[in-house]
Amino acid sequence: MKCIKCDKKAIISYPVRFCKEHFIEYYLNKLKETIEKWEMFNKDDKILVAVSGGKDSSSLAYALHLLGYEFEGLYINLEIPNYSNFCEEKVKELFKLINKKLNIIRVSDYGVKVERVRNRPRCSVCGTIKRYLMNRFAYENGFTVLATAHTMPDEVSFFFMNLRSGNLNAIVKQKPVLEGKGKFVKKVKPLIYFTEKENLTFSLINNLPVCRLECPYAEGNTQNVIKNKIYEIDKDFRGLFNQTIHFLEKINIEVKDEEVYECIKCGYPTSSKDIVCSFCKIKEYFSKNPS
């Protein structure tokens, strides 16, 4: 199987057959085009890239570095046993390699834990903690853009989750760029057109330090369950991921914006009627249930 651009052996066959060099060229061009098409950031922006140590965010950071962008990294140590510290080491190695500043914060410094809170599963608590801390760190440190490594399968599975819960507001907001407002920093998803396989290939051929462990709490994670089902359907109906992403881009419905208040505990935005944000509720729970 040959590369479509030269006589060398192809190392990837889907979406296109490429050799190592032409795959890197394709990956970087696609990333650059995505950033420019959606005006995600320019070289004057102060960019924060959220990294987890996994193949997706490590590939994003490395590719942005190859494209010449200046940015800092943020690693949130979730303090998950037999997992988070190992991922932290991989992220440190990567940032040493690309010679960029890496910021590390730990959830316990903010009075929270990745554990069940009443009937909320761990992953839901974890999601709230990550979203809140990424935004807060970016805002408090003067970053103008926060880049996350959400991939095409991530976005498509979020879409099905939002569909399942009938959350039209969330579907309408599923765009590659979410503009900043008040204490919400602009959020961008440069990997929105990338598959996990593309990121895995990019990380392997560039020999990137990547944490290959799976989070010990991942079993039963709703998003993963839905994502795996979509992968199954995509085997028989190729293009489901792509079509869904382009469908989401076209959605342009006026929805009534939720009322946003300032959380009475932390001052960050919340749409909760009792004016206490989800993060502060989690924090309050752990202050009352310390064990």
Q: Determine which residue in the list 31, 74, 114, 208 makes contact with ligand SF4, applying CB under 6 A.
A: 114
Task: Give the footprint of ligand SF4 on residues 45-104 (CB under 6 A).
Answer: 78
Residue pair 94/208 in contact by the 8 Å Cβ criterion: yes
Region binding ligand SF4 by CB under 6 A among candidate stretches 68-76, 184-192, 216-224, 229-237 = 216-224
Q: Which is nearer to ligand SF4, 19 or 117 (CB)?
A: 117
- Mutual orientation of helices 222-236 and 240-250 as an angle, nearest 10°? 110
Q: Is the peptide bond before 15 cis (omega within 30 degrees of 0)?
A: yes
Q: Determine which residue in the list 19, 49, 188, 215 makes contact with ligand SF4, applying CB under 6 A.
A: 215
- Mutual orientation of helices 55-66 and 20-37 as an angle, nearest 10°? 80
Q: Which is nearer to ligand SF4, 15 or 220 (CB)?
A: 220
Q: Which is nearer to Zn ion, 155 or 198 (CB)?
A: 198
DSSP structural state of residue 277:
-
Burial of 33 by CB count in 10 Å (0-12 exposed, 13-18 middle, 19+ buried)?
A: exposed
Rounded to the nearest angstrom, the gap between the alpha carbon of residue 124 and the centroid of all alpha carbons in its chain is 15
Task: Give the chain's radius of gyration (CA, Å).
Answer: 19
Q: Which is nearer to ligand SF4, 11 or 218 (CB)?
A: 218
Q: Do the annotations mark residue 87 as ligand-binding?
A: no
CB of 116 to ligand SF4, least distance (A): 11
221 binds, among ligand SF4, Zn ion, none (CB under 5 to 8 A by kind): ligand SF4
Q: Do the annotations mark residue 266 as ligand-binding?
A: yes
- Distance, in Å, from the CA atom of 166 to the CA atom of 174, rounded to the nearest integer, reads 14
Torsion angles phi and psi, residue 190, rounded to 5: -65, -20
Residues that bind Zn ion (CB under 5 A): 3, 5-6, 8, 19, 22, 263, 265-266, 277, 280
Q: Do the annotations mark residue 19 as ligand-binding?
A: yes
Q: Which residues pair with 178 in a beta bridge?
A: 187
213 binds ligand SF4 (CB under 6 A): no
Structure tokens that stand for 41 in this block? 């950031």
Structure tokens that stand for 241 in this block? 């991921």
Q: Which is nearer to ligand SF4, 126 or 188 (CB)?
A: 126
Q: Which residues pair with 2 in a beta bridge?
A: 9
Q: Which of 107, 24, 93, 81 is nearest to 53 (CA)?
A: 93
Task: Give the footprint of ligand SF4 on residues 126-145 (CB under 6 A).
Answer: 126-127
Q: Which is nearer to ligand SF4, 78 or 156 (CB)?
A: 78
Provide the annotated binding site for Zn(2+). Answer: 3, 6, 19, 22, 263, 266, 277, 280
Residues annotated within the binding site are 3, 6, 19, 22, 263, 266, 277, 280
In the complex, the residues that contact ligand SF4 under the rule CB under 6 A are 78, 114, 122-123, 126-127, 215, 217-218, 221
